[in-house]
Amino acid sequence: MAICQKIVERHGGYITAQSSPGNGATFIISLPEKSDSEPH
């Protein structure tokens, strides 16, 4: 998980985690949308 977090952070995103005892965990990865600097 630490490796994933570093990769996501280097791309300008973040990871959050939510857990419930007996129900497991949910991981949310958020990455910024890439915008083109030049129009097509």
Amino acid 35: pLDDT: 72
CA-to-CA separations, 14 to 3, 8, 19, 20, 34, in angstroms, rounded: 12, 6, 17, 21, 15
Phi, psi of 31 (to 5 degrees): -125, 145
d(CA 39, CA 13): 24
Specify the pTM: 0.65
- For 18, the 3-state DSSP assignment is strand
One pLDDT digit (tens) per residue for the chain, 40 residues:
899 999 999 999 999 999 999 999 999 999 999 877 666 6
CB of 29 within 8 A of CB of 15? yes
Q: For tokens 């915008």, what's the residue?
A: 35
pLDDT of res. 34: 80
